[in-house]
Amino acid sequence: MDAEHDTKGSYVTKGQEFNRDTNYITDRILDDPQAEWPVEAGRYRLIAARACPWANRTMIARRLLGLEDAISIGMPGPTHDKRSWTFDLDPDGRDPVLGIERLQQAYFARFPDYPRGITVPAIVDVPSGKVVTNDYNQITLDFSAQWRGFQREGAPDLYPEALRAEMDPLIKLIFTEVNNGVYRCGFAGSQEAYEKAFDRLFTALDTLEDRLADRRFLMGDAITEVDIRLFTTLVRFDPVYYSHFKCNRNRLSDFENLWGYARDLYQTPGFGDTVDFEQIKEHYYIVHTDINPTQIVPIGPDLSDWLSPHGRDERFGGSPFGTGTPPEAPLPHDTVDPAHTAAAWT
């Protein structure tokens, strides 16, 4: 089961370790006119809830690469029921491009008997209204490799071929031990499973803390795909995972290097401007009723420190975009409500 963006209901199985269902729709949109799903500007719509870390990855990559004009975006609200994510933030509760109330409708348009949870991120073919893929692991890699013809001038190379041999094991570590590790803690079905998950998570965070002691970003002087993947967990750590998922050996702010690194990314265009802290908290504390049956959403923590100086640029030098340039400000539809950002706490 997929406790973050699956809509099937309860996520805790008594006495058992949490196991994520990783069976997704693995179709790909390819830079090949003969492909079933060819790259084509304006044809596809990314459905990505701000609350979800896996969807947040796609939002960041789309912004950094400048694909906003090529791939439109629809954003469900932060909560959902057992059936589906819904477009409750849009006028009349319908996605303005697809005309649907529930993401489930795009899945059923292609697979009438789709048996799995309705997940975000998902990419939908606008002309047919059918879901193409929900394989979040591959979507961002294909944004980098398959959509080059539509990337902005100055876009960073997020998945450099020369670094992949080193990056791929790090991507695996981050997914299994950190991205999924927090869920393994939060949805553990026994004390034994929880303690095992807890130790695995903080062992990995200690490893990453050490790695960031002598480099600005995970692969060196510039951001890459691995930074996107780690950031979306780190930015949710103190507001949600520390308390809601019982990941409470340390707060993120207790790690010197990880905390500075996370602030460095948050303050980088394309990262923090995709983060909606209120939607994040609403999603976890309202949807996960098996963990939080009262559905009370905490007011804190104080987020103002996300904007404090991190000093990593002065300490290590380098540039987030390498020889490239930052993206321009987000489009109005992509802009986070200012009241839901760290700036609202200053």
> Which listed residue (11, 44, 52, 194) is catalytic?
52
Asked if the structure places residue 271 within a domain, the reply is yes
Asked if the structure places residue 109 within a domain, the reply is no
Asked if the structure places residue 103 within a domain, the reply is no
At a CB cut-off of 8 Å and minimum separation 6, what does 211 contact? Answer: 218
> Which listed residue (183, 194, 241, 284) is catalytic?
183
At a CB cut-off of 8 Å and minimum separation 6, what does 125 contact? Answer: 37, 43, 44, 131, 132
Asked if the structure places residue 57 within a domain, the reply is no
Tokens found for residue 159: 């998945």
Asked if the structure places residue 114 within a domain, the reply is no
284 annotated active-site: no
Residue 302, phi then psi, degrees to nearest 5: -65, 125
Residue 255 structural domain: 161-345
Nearest Cα neighbor of 41 from 110, 167, 112, 126 is: 126
DSSP-assigned letter for residue 16: S
Q: What is the reported pTM? A: 0.95
Q: Do 48 and 127 contact (CB within 8 A), yes or no? A: no
Asked if the structure places residue 184 within a domain, the reply is yes
One digit per residue, the tens of pLDDT, for the chain of length 346 reads: 334 445 444 566 666 777 777 789 999 999 999 999 999 999 999 999 999 999 999 999 999 999 999 999 999 999 998 889 999 999 999 999 999 999 999 999 999 999 999 999 999 999 999 999 999 999 999 999 999 999 999 999 999 999 999 999 999 999 999 999 999 999 999 999 999 999 999 999 999 999 999 999 999 999 999 999 999 999 999 999 999 999 999 999 999 999 999 999 999 999 999 999 999 999 999 999 999 999 999 999 999 999 999 999 999 999 999 999 999 999 998 999 999 999 999 8
3-state secondary structure of 338: helix
Q: What is the dihedral of CA 98, 122, 276, 240, to 10 degrees?
A: 140
Residue in the block written with tokens 């303005």: 96
Tally the domains of the chain.
1
Asked if the structure places residue 267 within a domain, the reply is yes
The CATH number of residue 303's host domain is: 1.20.1050.10
What angle, rounded to 10 degrees, do the helices at 225-236 and 256-266 form?
A: 110
52 annotated active-site: yes
Asked if the structure places residue 84 within a domain, the reply is no
